[in-house]
Amino acid sequence: MTATPPATARRSPAALVAIGAGAGVLSGLFGIGGGLLMVPALVLLVGMAQHRAHATSLAAIVPIALVGALVFGRAESVDLVAAAVLVAGSLLGVQAGARAMGRLSGERLTLVFAAFVIVVALAMLLL
C-alpha cells in the first residue's frame, strides 16, 4: 500500500518547492494546513516514507500557518480568542496524535489517513 522509497531516493528541491507552494495555496485558500496535499505528494512524488511524510508536513506547516495568520490578521479576520483556545486544545491533541501515529505501521497509517480524507470529503459534500 505505502510507497517504499529506495534507499537512494533523491529529494528533488524543485519537487519539494512545488509541493510546498501547493500546500501554501491550499492553506491560504481553504485553511486546511496543506497536509492533505503535502502528505500524499511527499509519499507519491518524492518517495518519502509515510511516517516521515506526516512528520515533515507537520513541521512545515508551522511557518505556513504563521504567515497565513499574519496576512489574515492584518485584515482583522482572525478571532484571537478562538485561536488561543484552539491552540490550547491542539497542543494536547497533537501529542496524542503523534503517539498514535508512532504505533501504526506505514500501511495502517496510509489507510487511516485515506479514510480520514474520505470521511471529511463526504461530510463536506453532505453538510
Whether 5 maps to a domain, the answer reads: no
pLDDT digits (tens, 9 = 90+) for 71-119: 999 999 999 999 999 999 999 999 999 999 999 999 999 999 999 999 9
**Segments forming the whole domain that contains residue 107:** 13-126
| pLDDT per residue as tens digits for the range 48-57 | 999 999 999 9
CB 48 within 8 A of CB 5: yes
Query: Is residue 7 situated within a structural domain?
Result: no
Residue 1 lies in a domain: no
How many domains does one find in the chain? 1
Confirm whether 48 is domain-assigned: yes
